[in-house]
Structure 1
Amino acid sequence: MTSYPLLLKQLWHTPLANAANQEIVYRDQLRLSYRQVYDRIGRFGAALAAYGLQQNDVIAVMDHDSHRYLECYFAIPMYGATLMTVNTKLTPTQIAYTLNHSRASMLLLHADFIPIIESIHAELPGIQKYIVMADETAVPQSILQFDNEYECWLADQKDGFNFGDFDENTRATTFYTTGTTGVPKGVYYTHRQLVLHTLAAGMALTAPAAQQRFHSEDVYMPLTPMFHVHAWGIPYIVTLLGIKQVYPGRYAPDMLLRLIREEQVTCSHCVPTLLKMILTAAQAAGVDLRGWKVVIGGSALPQVLARQALEMGIDCFAGYGLSETAPILTLAQLNATAQDPMTDDTLAKLCCAGRAIPLVDLQIVDEVMQSQAHDGQSSGEIVARAPWLTHGYLDNTEASAALWRGDYLHTQDIGTMDSNGYLYITDRLKDVIKVAGEWVSSLELENALTQVIGVKEVAVIGVPDKRWGECPLALLIVDNNLFKESAAQEQVRLFVDRGSIPKHALLTQFKQVENIIKTSVGKIDKKALRAEYAVAQ
C-alpha cells in the first residue's frame, strides 16, 4: 500500500465530488464554480512550471481578499513551493525586510500596492519576477518590469498541471508577525500541519448542535485579511466543506454590507474593531444582520459589543489563537443547556477564549512550568501543544528556543481555566500592570470601562508612577455628550467591590484621546501607547 501524504491538494477531493458547481464570488465582479477555480489552480501550476519555478521556491503575494488569493492559498503550496503572504499594512521598510528575509523570488502584486513596491524595489534584489493583479483590464504604468498580468498569465496555459505527491512535511506557507517587538519574525507551516489544523478546527466549528457553528449550507465571507495567519485557516475549512464563498476585496463598509445582504452571507470572522464598524454601518443603513454568525479574535471581545451584536440577531462568539498556532486553539462555544446568551454568565463564556479544539493540549503553568488548577482562579501563562503549531521562527534559533521552552509553545498570555475547560485570558505577560506589587489586568479594566455610557473605545496601559511603581492609565475615546469621568470611576469601584478586579485598580487615571494606535492587523498597540505615555506621574 502506498502512503497518502497529508497535502493541501487532498482538501479538494470532497468538494469537487460533492459541490463542483458551488459558487466562489469576488465582490460584485465575478462568479466562479469550484470546478472553475480548481481548473484555474491547475493553470496556475502550469504557469509556475513555464516560468521555471522550482519546488521550495518562495512566492510572495500582495492582494486584497479575493478569489485570486484563494487560488494562491492552494496552487503555490500544491506546486511544492512556499506561499509567503505579505502583510500589506507594514511599513515599506518592514515589507522589504520580510520579502528579503523569506528569500522570495517571485511577487504577485495587486495594482493598489504598486507604489509601495516601487518605493523599495531597489532593495529587493531577490525578486526576479513580478506578476501584476488588476481588477481593471488596463495594467497601470510602473517603473517595475512586470512579467505578466495574472489573468493573462493563467490564460496562456491551455493545459492544467499534474500536482504530484511529495513529503507532507514540505513547507507550505510562511508569513511574518507584526513586529511590535523588534523586526518582524517569520513563522512557517507544513502541508501536514495545515491539513491537521483544517480537520481539527473544522470539526470544532461544525460540532455544536445549534449555535456557534458553521455547516454545509452556510455562505462564507472572510473579514480578516488573508495575509494574516491564513485568514485564521477558515478558507481551507470552507473549501473542504464545499460551501459558497464570497471574497470582498478591499474592505469598505458599504460593499461589505451589500455583499452580506445580496449574497446572503451567514458566517465570517473578524477583529472587534471591524465588528463594531459593521454594526454601526448596518444600523445607519437599516441593514438586517440577523442570521449572521461571526467568530471574533485578534483581541478580547468586549461584552458590551457582544451584547449589541446579539441584540441585532448575530450569533457572535470568540476564538483564540496566535500567529504561531496556525491559529485556532480554542472556540467559545456553549453547551446546549446554556444557549441563552443574555445571562451574565453565558455572555462571559461567549466572550472568553473558549475551550480547546480537538488535539490541543492546553495548560496554565507557573514560572517553573508547574500546571495550575482548572478552578477558574489559579492563573499562569497559557502554554500549548498541538500537531500544527509552528516549529519556530524562521532563521531565529534563540527566539524559537524561547517559544518552545519546556516542550510547550509559550503564548505569553496570562489566563485561568475553569472546571469545564473554558479559558479566560486576563492579560498579556507584557501588558499586565504591577501596582505596589499587585497585578492588575488591563483586559479586565477595559471590559469594565467599555460598559460605561459614552465610551466608544478604551485601552488600558501601565505607566510609571513614583509612588506605586506603575498605575493603570485608561485611554478613552468618548462621546462628549454622554461620557462622565465620574461614571468611569464608579464603574471601576463597582468591579472592585464585586471582586472582579483588585483594589489597586482604583488608582486608574483617565485620559480622553482622539485615537488609539493599532497594529497592522487591528489590535491595540500597547507597546506604542506605553512609549507615548511613559512619563512618571
Structure 2
Amino acid sequence: MKGLMMDSQLTVTSIMEFAERQFPDSEIVSVTKDNSLHRFTYKDAFLRVRKLANALIDYGIKRSDRIATLAWNDYRHLEIYYAVGCSGFICHTINPRLFEEQIEYIVNHAEDRILFLDPDFISLAESIQNRVACIEKFVVLTDDEHMPTTTLRGAESYESFIANTRSTISWPELNETDACSLCYTSGTTGNPKGVLYSHRSIVLHSYGAALPDGMNISIRDVVMPIVPMFHVNAWNLPYTAAMVGAKMVFPGAKMGDGATLHSLIEKEEVTFSAGVPTVWLGLLKFLSESGSNVPSLQRVVVGGSACPLSIMDEFRDKYAVEVHHAWGMTETGPLGALNSLKPGMEQLEKAELDSIRQLQGRPIYGVSIKIVNDNGEELPWDGKSVGEFRVRGPWISSGYFKDSGGVYGSHDEDGWFATGDVGTMDANGYMRITDRTKDVIKSGGEWISSIDIENVAVGHPGVAEAAVIGVRHAKWGERPLLLIVRSGKTAIEKLDMLGWLEGKIAKWWMPDGVEFVDEISHTATGKISKKDLRVQFAEYQFSDCE
C-alpha cells in the first residue's frame, strides 16, 4: 500500500519559485568587472532569469543541451544557474584555472553550444575557439558600454543578449531526475570526468546543507560564497541560500583579496562564508596587518583540503568566528560531512577538543559512509582502523557523463562510491582523512599521514604553507619529505622545523628531509598538487639513507 501524499517534483524551479514568492526583497550583492558593487533583489534577479531563459529558447537551445560558463561569482552567473536549469537545459560550469588542453577537452566532451564568459577570460577563449567547434556563440558577461573588442564568433554582451526578450515564461514541467548541472573533476588521474547533477540531488543537498548540523543557513544569514561557482555549484550555496531566503554576497574576481573580502563582510554584515584554507589565510593576514575586525561574521566552513588548527584558533580567539571543517568531492555534490560538536564536547579539555575540531566531521543525513580495507572488507568505527572511504546517497554520483570514468570513482557491487580518500571513523561517527590513496606514504610497511604532518608544520608562525610527499628510501621504501614555504621574511631552518614537529607527531613519522621552496604547486581547485611535487622531486636523495 502506498501513502496518500502528493508527488511533487523536487526541482530547482521549485526553489526559484518559492524564493521569489517568499523572499522577493532579499538582496544579492556582487562585485563585477563593470560594477564595483552591484545590488538588487531576488525579485529583480528572477525577472532577469526569465528574460535569459527566453533568450536561450529564442536562440534555439533544446532540452538537455549544455550551456557552458567561464565565470566568477556574481549575479549574472547566478542568473545563468537558474535560467539554464529551470529551462530543462544543463549548466556546465568550467574551471578557468585548468590547463587550456583540459578546457578544450571538457568543452568538446560536453558538446557545449553557448559559452558565457567573464571579460577576464576572453583571451583564454580566443586561444581555444578554433579547437572547440561545438561552441556556436560566446556571450560576454557585461553590458555594451564595457564590451571588449574580441574575435570570438557570435560575440555579444550579456545585457544585449537578454535586452529584447520577454520577462514572462511558462516553465517546462521537469522530472526531478532530469539533469540540471555538469561539473568536471580536475583530472588528476587522467582526463577530467563529468559529474552530472540532477534537480533532485541539488534540492536534497540544499535541504541537508541548511540543517543545523549542516551549514546551518537560514533567512537570518548573509551568505558569501567564496568557493567558486565554477566548481561543484559553489558547494550548492546559490541554491541553499535561495531556498531559505538568505542575502547573498558575491566577491567576483576578488575572492582571494583579503581587503575586498573584509570590506564586503563589514559593509554587508556577512554572517556565513565558505572557502578553501588559502582564502582564509589571506583574510587573516589582512586583518592582522590592518588591525581590522569582522564583527558580523559568525561561521566559516573550510573544505577542499585540511584546515590547520592555527587558522581555527586565530578565527575563534581573535575574531569570535567558529570554523567548521567539511569534507566532500565533486562526486558527492559536494557536501559529505561537516564538523559540528555533539552535546557535552564543549566541556572537554582543550587538547581533546582540538583533536575533534580538526576532524573532517560527521556525515549529514543523506550520506552513508563506510571504510574498507584493500580487500573491500568493511572496517570498524574505532578511530584506529585505517581504510578507504566509500559513500552512497541521493546526491552521490552513480557514474560519469558519457562514461568518462577513471581509476578512482569506481563503484562496488553494492553501489558504494570509492572516494580514494583514506582515514578512520571513530565511535562518535567523526571521519578523519589521513591521505588520498595515491598520496599515502608507506614506510617499512606502515602508513604515514602526510596531512597530519602538514597540519602541524603549518602551525609554526614562520610557515606560510607546507606539503609532505613520500620519497624513495633504500631501507624503508619511502620516507616523508617536508616542503616549506616560509612566511614573510622569517629565517626558519631544518632544525627549527624538526624541533617544532617533535612531540607533536609520532617519532617514526619525522621527515627525513626538509626543503624550503618559493612556492608549492596547486591544482586548478586550489588543492596542493602532490602529483606535480612528486615529479619535481622524483630524483631527490635523502642525505642519510642508512
1:446 corresponding residue in structure 2: 454
More off after superposition, 151-160 vs 379-388: 151-160
Once the two structures are TM-superposed, the CA of residue 280 in structure 1 deviates from its matched residue by 0.3
2:261 corresponding residue in structure 1: 256
In structure 2, give the amino acid aligned to 1:489.
L
Distance 1:220 1:453, change over 3 A: closer
Alpha-carbon distance between aligned partners in 1 of 2:537 and 2:347, rounded to the nearest angstrom:
41
Once the two structures are TM-superposed, the CA of residue 402 in structure 1 deviates from its matched residue by 5.4
More off after superposition, 142-151 vs 527-536: 142-151
- Partners of 2:183 and 2:195 within 8 A in 1: yes
Match of 2:423, SS? strand
Match of 2:146, SS? coil
In structure 1, give the amino acid aligned to 2:363.
A
Once the two structures are TM-superposed, the CA of residue 222 in structure 1 deviates from its matched residue by 0.9
Distance 1:536 1:243, change over 3 A: closer
Once the two structures are TM-superposed, the CA of residue 102 in structure 1 deviates from its matched residue by 0.6
Q: Is 1:235 aligned to residue 238 of structure 2?
A: yes
Q: Is 1:245 aligned to residue 248 of structure 2?
A: yes
Match of 2:282, SS? helix
Matches within 5 A, 1:409-420: 409-420=417-428
Equivalent position to 1:390, from 379, 393, 397: 397
1:485 corresponding residue in structure 2: 494
- Partners of 2:368 and 2:393 within 8 A in 1: yes
In structure 2, give the amino acid aligned to 1:217.
R
Normalised TM-score (structure 1): 0.94
Alpha-carbon distance between aligned partners in 2 of 1:152 and 1:402, rounded to the nearest angstrom:
42
2:97 corresponding residue in structure 1: 89
- Partners of 2:269 and 2:296 within 8 A in 1: no
- Partners of 2:331 and 2:396 within 8 A in 1: yes
Normalised TM-score (structure 2): 0.92
2:227 corresponding residue in structure 1: 224
Distance 1:401 1:411, change over 3 A: closer
- Partners of 2:337 and 2:363 within 8 A in 1: yes
2:364 corresponding residue in structure 1: 357
Equivalent position to 1:526, from 512, 522, 530: 530
Post-superposition CA distance 1:139-193 (Å, at most 9, x none): 1111113353111222211332211212221111111111222221211111111
- Partners of 1:452 and 1:487 within 8 A in 2: no
Equivalent position to 1:311, from 309, 317, 328: 317
2:353 corresponding residue in structure 1: 346
Equivalent position to 1:515, from 514, 519, 522: 519
Once the two structures are TM-superposed, the CA of residue 55 in structure 1 deviates from its matched residue by 0.6
Alpha-carbon distance between aligned partners in 2 of 1:161 and 1:93, rounded to the nearest angstrom:
38
Alpha-carbon distance between aligned partners in 1 of 2:450 and 2:250, rounded to the nearest angstrom:
35
Once the two structures are TM-superposed, the CA of residue 18 in structure 1 deviates from its matched residue by 2.4
Once the two structures are TM-superposed, the CA of residue 368 in structure 1 deviates from its matched residue by 2.4
Matches within 5 A, 1:459-470: 459-470=467-478
In structure 2, give the amino acid aligned to 1:69.
H
Distance 1:401 1:87, change over 3 A: closer
- Partners of 1:291 and 1:315 within 8 A in 2: no
Alpha-carbon distance between aligned partners in 2 of 1:141 and 1:221, rounded to the nearest angstrom:
32
Once the two structures are TM-superposed, the CA of residue 199 in structure 1 deviates from its matched residue by 1.3
1:302 corresponding residue in structure 2: 308
Alpha-carbon distance between aligned partners in 2 of 1:77 and 1:490, rounded to the nearest angstrom:
54
Once the two structures are TM-superposed, the CA of residue 341 in structure 1 deviates from its matched residue by 9.4
Equivalent position to 1:434, from 442, 454, 468: 442
1:285 corresponding residue in structure 2: 290
Match of 1:476, SS? strand
More off after superposition, 343-352 vs 422-431: 343-352
Identical columns (%): 33
Once the two structures are TM-superposed, the CA of residue 213 in structure 1 deviates from its matched residue by 3.3
1:74 corresponding residue in structure 2: 82
1:335 corresponding residue in structure 2: 342
More off after superposition, 357-366 vs 160-169: 160-169
Q: Is 1:181 aligned to residue 189 of structure 2?
A: yes
Alpha-carbon distance between aligned partners in 1 of 2:433 and 2:296, rounded to the nearest angstrom:
28
- Partners of 2:408 and 2:420 within 8 A in 1: no
Match of 2:260, SS? helix
2:276 corresponding residue in structure 1: 271
Alpha-carbon distance between aligned partners in 1 of 2:280 and 2:269, rounded to the nearest angstrom:
17
Match of 1:137, SS? helix
2:331 corresponding residue in structure 1: 324
Alpha-carbon distance between aligned partners in 1 of 2:266 and 2:463, rounded to the nearest angstrom:
29
Distance 1:300 1:507, change over 3 A: closer
Match of 2:344, SS? helix
In structure 2, give the amino acid aligned to 1:80.
G
More off after superposition, 308-317 vs 82-91: 308-317
Alignment RMSD: 2.0
Alpha-carbon distance between aligned partners in 2 of 1:24 and 1:273, rounded to the nearest angstrom:
25
Post-superposition CA distance 1:342-399 (Å, at most 9, x none): 9222222222110010121111111222221111111111111111111212223653
Q: Is 1:22 aligned to residue 26 of structure 2?
A: yes
Distance 1:519 1:136, change over 3 A: farther
Post-superposition CA distance 1:423-478 (Å, at most 9, x none): 11111111110112211110111122222342221100001122221110000112
Alpha-carbon distance between aligned partners in 2 of 1:288 and 1:135, rounded to the nearest angstrom:
35
Distance 1:506 1:166, change over 3 A: closer
Post-superposition CA distance 1:201-250 (Å, at most 9, x none): 222xx348xxx733321111111111110001111111101011111110
Alpha-carbon distance between aligned partners in 1 of 2:322 and 2:391, rounded to the nearest angstrom:
28
Alpha-carbon distance between aligned partners in 2 of 1:144 and 1:335, rounded to the nearest angstrom:
54
Once the two structures are TM-superposed, the CA of residue 65 in structure 1 deviates from its matched residue by 0.5
Match of 1:381, SS? strand
Alpha-carbon distance between aligned partners in 2 of 1:19 and 1:166, rounded to the nearest angstrom:
23
Post-superposition CA distance 1:227-279 (Å, at most 9, x none): 11000111111110101111111023322211111111111101011110111
1:131 corresponding residue in structure 2: 139
In structure 2, give the amino acid aligned to 1:228.
H
Q: Is 1:106 aligned to residue 108 of structure 2?
A: no
Distance 1:450 1:147, change over 3 A: closer
Alpha-carbon distance between aligned partners in 2 of 1:400 and 1:436, rounded to the nearest angstrom:
26
Q: Is 1:504 aligned to residue 512 of structure 2?
A: no
- Partners of 1:43 and 1:160 within 8 A in 2: yes
Alpha-carbon distance between aligned partners in 2 of 1:116 and 1:233, rounded to the nearest angstrom:
26
Post-superposition CA distance 1:473-494 (Å, at most 9, x none): 0001124635242232234331
Alpha-carbon distance between aligned partners in 2 of 1:341 and 1:454, rounded to the nearest angstrom:
30
In structure 2, give the amino acid aligned to 1:299.
S
Alpha-carbon distance between aligned partners in 2 of 1:36 and 1:310, rounded to the nearest angstrom:
37
- Partners of 1:188 and 1:391 within 8 A in 2: no
Alpha-carbon distance between aligned partners in 2 of 1:135 and 1:332, rounded to the nearest angstrom:
42
- Partners of 1:519 and 1:525 within 8 A in 2: yes
Alpha-carbon distance between aligned partners in 2 of 1:507 and 1:200, rounded to the nearest angstrom:
40
Distance 1:492 1:135, change over 3 A: farther
Q: Is 1:115 aligned to residue 123 of structure 2?
A: yes
Alpha-carbon distance between aligned partners in 1 of 2:458 and 2:218, rounded to the nearest angstrom:
33
- Partners of 2:64 and 2:88 within 8 A in 1: yes
Match of 1:108, SS? strand
